[in-house]
Amino acid sequence: MERLTKIYRSRRKEVRAVDNISFDISKNEIVGILGPNGAGKTTTIKSILGLLIPDEGEIFISGRKVGTFDRWIYRNIAAVLEGNRNVYWRLTVRENLEFFAGLQGYKPSELKEKIDFLLQRFGLESRQNDQVRTLSRGMQQKVAVAVAFIRNTPILFLDEPTLGLDVESSLELRKTLRELASENLKTVLISSHDMKVVEEICERVIILKNGRIIANDRIPNLKSLFRTIAYKIVYEGMLQEELKTRLKDNFLNVTFGKMNFVVELKRTEDIYDLMDLLRSYKIQIKSLKAEEPDFERVYIELIKGGEVN
């Protein structure tokens, strides 16, 4: 993608949804595209898919230009946009998989093994003969993602794949996505507000803000930008209010939890002053563990701070 720009115009104002952005995705790479609401994520994805015509810039998929009505492009891309609205609600789960596989050119004799495999991987076996409209939101979301995989395209776009899922279903779907993407050697672009999805599945992230790219790097590299000397301390008993005040006064960020707290230090040797302070209040320490930066915190800091050079 080179210098992509998309402007929405009305009588009253002009909104530059995507502002001169460029990035590449390598074959078989799994990339996350992140950003707050209105950052330009959906506009970018729809432009890549040819659903929107950009005002400026060019998009190429495997060397073929998007927007030229090249059938090869559309036969090699599958997408889940807005989750459960990608399937036919009055068809059963199995019928949806059969229908979309048929659109891709698969013969009926080729379908059964592939469909059985996906039904098992997405936990849909017991509901395979139920109409999709009778399923829960989470189940419908799983069907939509399974339909994207049944097409067996080398390139896959997933827009908020865990939207509306409960914690258990989200964990299951993250695991399944990670395994399927890896096993099938697909190029995947994922848009999500769920930082766990991105951190567990993606190799690299592109972060948008106000239509521009503010970060484009591998997750470990972004984490290293915000690495601090921090420890999580689990203790017995209670922390007196006086001690809490002294911790806040003498050290950097201190976050208190239930029977634990996380403290950031200016220097590595400050750990000795911390231990002396806790010892003076007779605090019994159960465990002390160095804390790695949380990717959600990294994301928030980037959104607040602006572009990473």
CATH number belonging to domain 2-223: 3.40.50.300
Q: Structural domain boundaries of the chain?
A: 2-223, 228-291
Residue 265 near residue 229 (C-beta atoms within 8 A):
yes
CA distance 9 to 1: 23
Q: Tell me, what DSSP letter sits at residue 92?
A: B
Tens of pLDDT along the chain (309 residues)? 999 999 999 888 899 999 999 999 999 899 999 999 889 998 999 999 999 999 999 999 999 999 888 889 988 999 988 655 789 999 999 999 999 999 888 887 788 899 999 999 999 999 999 999 999 888 898 999 999 999 889 999 998 888 777 788 788 888 888 888 777 778 999 998 888 888 888 999 999 999 999 999 999 999 888 778 899 999 998 999 999 999 999 998 899 999 999 999 988 899 999 999 999 999 999 999 988 877 888 898 899 886 665
CA distance 13 to 298: 33
Our CA angle for 136, 139, 145, nearest 5°, is 145
**Packing angle, helices 167-183 and 108-121, rounded to 10:** 130
Same fold, 2-223 and 228-291: no
* pLDDT at position 177: 82
**pTM greater than 0.85:** no
Q: What is the architecture, at CATH level 2, of domain 228-291?
A: 2-Layer Sandwich (3.30)
